[in-house]
């Protein structure tokens, strides 16, 4: 699996630098930590604090996988819309433009 630069990826999505991407990653971690401390720590029905933390870690991992899948799906959707527009445009031009290999 190729190495993943989270800071560069988030910075690129935001159109900013890697440093801003790393700051965003840090803030996401703070938000997830606060969510665990104030909500999940008391409500997860698991007795052991270590097991509760591990279960929360798996939940965060699953959420990250869903977010990456959604980002990929949005990229695919954008390219499909591009292809539809492109195909629609050239379908009107097909009769008037001679094919160079014909």
Same domain, 55 and 93: yes
Same domain, 51 and 36: no
pLDDT of residue 100: 66
Place of tokens 């933390």: 53
Same domain, 1 and 38: yes
Residue 92 reports pLDDT greater than 80: no
Same domain, 35 and 51: no
pLDDT of residue 50: 93
Structural domain count of the chain: 2
Same domain, 38 and 56: no
Same domain, 100 and 75: yes
CA atoms of 90 and 84, how far apart (whole Å): 10
Per-residue pLDDT tens over the stretch 43-89:
888 889 999 999 999 999 999 888 878 877 878 888 888 889 888 88
Work out the mean pLDDT of the chain and round it to a whole number: 85
Residue 97 reports pLDDT greater than 70: no
Binned at pLDDT 50, 70 and 90, residue 27 comes out as: very high
Place of tokens 């104030």: 38
CA atoms of 102 and 92, how far apart (whole Å): 18
């Amino acid at each position: 699996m190729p190495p993943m630069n989270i800071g560069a990826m988030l910075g690129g999505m935001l159109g900013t630098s890697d440093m801003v991407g790393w700051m965003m990653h840090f803030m996401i971690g703070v938000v997830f930590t606060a969510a665990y401390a104030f909500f999940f720590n008391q409500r997860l029905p698991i007795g052991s604090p270590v097991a509760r933390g591990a279960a929360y870690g798996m939940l965060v991992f699953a959420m990250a996988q869903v977010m990456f899948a959604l980002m990929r799906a949005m990229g695919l959707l954008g390219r499909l819309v591009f292809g539809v527009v492109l195909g629609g445009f050239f379908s009107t031009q097909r009769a008037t433009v001679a094919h160079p290999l014909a």
